[in-house]
Amino acid sequence: MAATSAATFSIGSTISPGTKVSQLPQSKPLSMRFNSQNTLATFSGLKAATFVKCESESSFLGKESSAVLRGAAAPKAQKSSQRSQYNLNPQASYKVAILGAAGGIGQPLALLVKMSPLISALHIYDIANVKGVAADLSHCNTPSQVLGFTGSSELPNSLKGVDVVVIPAGVPRKPGMTRDDLFSINANIVKTLVEAVADNCPDAFIHIISNPVNSTLPIAAEVLKQKGVYDPKKLFGVTTLDVVRANTFVAQKKNLKLIDVDVPVVGGHAGITILPLLSKTRPPVSFNDEEVQELTVRIQNAGTEVVEAKEGAGSATLSMAYAAARFVESSLRALDGDADVYECSFVQSDLTELPFFASRVKLGRKGVEAIISSDLQGLTEYEQKALEALKPELKASIEKGIAFAQKQPVTT
């Protein structure tokens, strides 16, 4: 099935009417709706939404996928009439680059991104093995053109004219390692790649996946500052997988429909710095103390759960690709003018005394439009203690990244 002949999608998110947003007069229920003729609608299931209405004869995923999505969304479909409207621009044509695209995350991420109707060009870059991935992907009959770039001499061209750059380049953990154990290799990789981003597409949204995110994101910020092109609104540490996991585990524990559940996860992306705010789960759910402890620890250790299950063959790749594709789609929707896009991300922040902090943010055409401050208000005693406990570790990781970048000034 090639393309949607006539499709209507409505997607609503989970910010509750009382949510406070810094820099915004007030928040509102979220939604998007596209009515498109003869165009692909969206890639299914990658949105940060709990409300989905899908009326489509067919989609690029085929009738069955549409039917599943329709079925999952049906109970809430009636509520769409009061929601704000986002009309997908059928001419939308964004360019996305993936750096580290031949890897465990890179390949499935490239496939998911290739399915987006919002993209005209997908540039995939790696130090090796990327031409075959590009040839393979390019046979998918979705609209975007795929171009492969190999090695540092082709890096600049892979970034020219790009709107969103995603960086999953670097080594993954093996059992027994912490994310911080990856610092010595990945810090340099991220530094070099972000230097190239600064030189070739300084206005792009930059998504940092490479671990340890708590340090690599500050490295990226420092590199961009040294290059004179730092825009804190456009630099993101990708923590979407923590939200995806929290949503999944909470839905399983409480026997809820997955598509309904949204749990904000704040702090950072390693061990105790990952703090799911279960008290802010939507729809509202109550947890006893034992459930809070069990779910919090499982969400914090979910990466390690995968690393151990893979027995030395790497860390999460498929769920990460899914999460990263969702974050790409949210960024593209924001670039395309959807006024209701919210995601958790590790960004420059004034929510706490730390310079970078993961929380829900509102995305717009220029990047972060607002940081959702209300999530940190009215925390439970357990969450408040966990928040205070994570700060020293997160602060140390941030400072380690900044010190690394300051010791090795960028090449001009």
Q: Tell me the residue nearest to ligand LMR as measured from the CB.
A: 303
Distance CA 71, CA 50 (A): 13
**Residues 137-196 within binding reach of ligand NAD (CB under 6 A):** 168-173, 182, 186, 189, 192-193
Numbers of helices and strands, H then E, in the chain: 11, 14
Angle of helix 130-137 relative to helix 106-114, nearest 10 degrees?
A: 30
**Which one of ligand LMR, ligand NAD, none is in contact with 268 (Cβ closer than 5 to 8 A by kind)?**
none
Q: Which of 126/338 has CB closer to ligand NAD?
A: 126
Tell me the two tokens of residue 161. 């004219």
The answer to whether the Cα torsion of 313, 188, 394, 321 is positive or negative is negative
Query: Is 345 near ligand NAD (CB under 6 A)?
Result: no
Residue of 92, 306, 328, 368 interacting with ligand LMR (CB under 6 A): 306
Give burial (CB, 10 Å; 0-12/13-18/19+) of 3. Answer: middle
SS3 letters for 21-43? CCCCCCCCCCCEEEEEECCCCCC
By CB under 6 A, the residues from 99 to 128 that bind ligand NAD are 99-100, 102-106, 126-128
Residue 180 or 262: the one with the smaller Cβ distance to ligand NAD is 180
Least distance in Å: CB of 306 to ligand NAD? 8
**What's the DSSP call for residue 10?**
E
- Residues whose CB is less than 8 angstroms from the CB of residue 293 and which lie 6 or more positions away in sequence, other chains included: 382
Cβ of 25: how many Cβ atoms within 10 Å? 6
Nearest to ligand NAD of 53, 245 (CB atom): 245
In whole angstroms, the minimum distance from the beta carbon of 242 to ligand LMR comes to: 7
Distances (CA, A) of 363 to 61, 264, 324, 397: 27, 15, 15, 26
Q: Does 49 contact ligand LMR by CB under 6 A? A: no
C-alpha span between 190 and 213 (Å, rounded): 10
Q: What residues between 188 and 227 interact with ligand NAD by CB under 6 A?
A: 189, 192-193, 209-211, 213
Among 39, 317, 331, 374, binds ligand NAD (CB under 6 A): 317
CB 17 → ligand LMR: shortest distance, Å? 32
Q: Is 47 in the site for ligand LMR (CB under 6 A)?
A: no
The whole-angstrom separation of Cα 49 and Cα 33 is: 12
**Which positions ≥6 away from 327 have C-beta within 8 Å?**
207, 236, 238, 240, 343, 345
List of residues 6+ apart from 110 with CB closer than 8 A = 98, 101, 122, 124, 133, 137, 146
CB of 241 to ligand LMR, least distance (A): 6
In the complex, least distance from residue 304 CB atom to ligand LMR, rounded to whole angstroms: 6
Number of residues that bind ligand NAD (CB under 6 A): 33
CB of 179 to ligand NAD, least distance (A): 6
Report the alpha-carbon distance of residue 220 to residue 303 in Å, rounded.
Answer: 23
Active-site position among 123, 139, 207, 269? 269
Q: Is-catalytic flag, 123?
A: no
**Closest approach of Cβ 300 to ligand LMR, in Å?**
9
How far apart, in whole angstroms, are the C-alpha atoms of residue 210 and residue 194?
Answer: 12
User: Which residues, numbered 222-281, are part of the site for ligand NAD (CB under 6 A)?
Assistant: 238, 241, 269
241 binds ligand LMR (CB under 6 A): yes
Report the catalytic residues: 269
Where on the chain is the footprint of ligand LMR (CB under 6 A)? 172-173, 179, 211, 241, 303-304, 306-307, 315-316
Where on the chain is the footprint of ligand NAD (CB under 6 A)? 99-100, 102-106, 126-128, 168-173, 182, 186, 189, 192-193, 209-211, 213, 238, 241, 269, 314-317, 320
